[in-house]
Each structure stands twice: as C-alpha cells, then as structure tokens.
Amino acid sequence: KAGVTQTPRYLIKTRGQQVTLSCSPISGHRSVSWYQQTPGQGLQFLFEYFSETQRNKGNFPGRFSGRQFSNSRSEMNVSTLELGDSALYLCASSLRGPYNEQFFGPGTRLTVL
C-alpha cells in the first residue's frame, strides 16, 4: 500500500503571499489530520477532516484553512503568510476510530521570507 504523500516537499514564500499544500492519504483512509511542527512549539494540531467535513480544529487563526475532497485527498491553505508560519506541515491519515493510529506523510517544509 502506498503511504501518505504530500506535495510539495519544500516551499519558499514571502510574507503576505498565500500557499496551498496537498495531501493524499493511504487508500481507504477517510480521516486526514494536519499538524504544524516547529522547534519552539512542537507538534500542534491544525484540523481534521473526515468525509469532506471538518471534524476538529486546533487553535490557529482563520488564515489557516483546509478542505477535503470526495476521494479523501486534502488541501490546506495559509493566506497572508507571516514569518512565524515557517514550519514543517505534516499530514496524517487514519481509519476512523480512537484506537487507530495515524500514518504520517513526509511533510512540507515551508519557509517564509
């Protein structure tokens, strides 16, 4: 089975721009979660989608948004980029259910200049 894929792997943007990151989950997984990882803040939960609906949301400003398509692929968008948005953005997919582990993609490294 193919793993979780994320594109692009690396991205460099300037302040004020917007960015869209993409995630393709493992086949059969309908739950997709997004995390932001920074050295200072660790792993922070952004949001989770299941069956095209946002099920959970973390404590991030409205500049961070996402969506999920009918094939379970997900995108996240960050508008009006700030320097502090520089981070590794991780996507994870899983089967629905609290006892199921999440499978992570390799991440997208976003650098905001």
Q: Is position 98 an interface residue for other proteins (rule: CB under 8 A)? A: yes
Tell me the two tokens of residue 81. Answer: 């980029």
Q: Are 20 and 77 in contact (CB under 8 A)?
A: yes
Q: In angstroms, how far is the first alpha carbon of the chain from the final one? A: 37
Among 2, 42, 62, 70, binds other proteins (CB under 8 A): 42
Strand bridging mode 53-57 / 108-112: unpaired
Ranges of H-type helices in 2-96: none
In the bound state with other proteins, the residue whose beta carbon lies nearer, of 72 and 94, is 94
In the bound state with other proteins, the residue whose beta carbon lies nearer, of 57 and 63, is 57
Smallest gap from Cβ 57 to other proteins, in A, equals 10
Binding positions for other proteins, 44-63, rule CB under 8 A? 45, 48, 55-56, 58
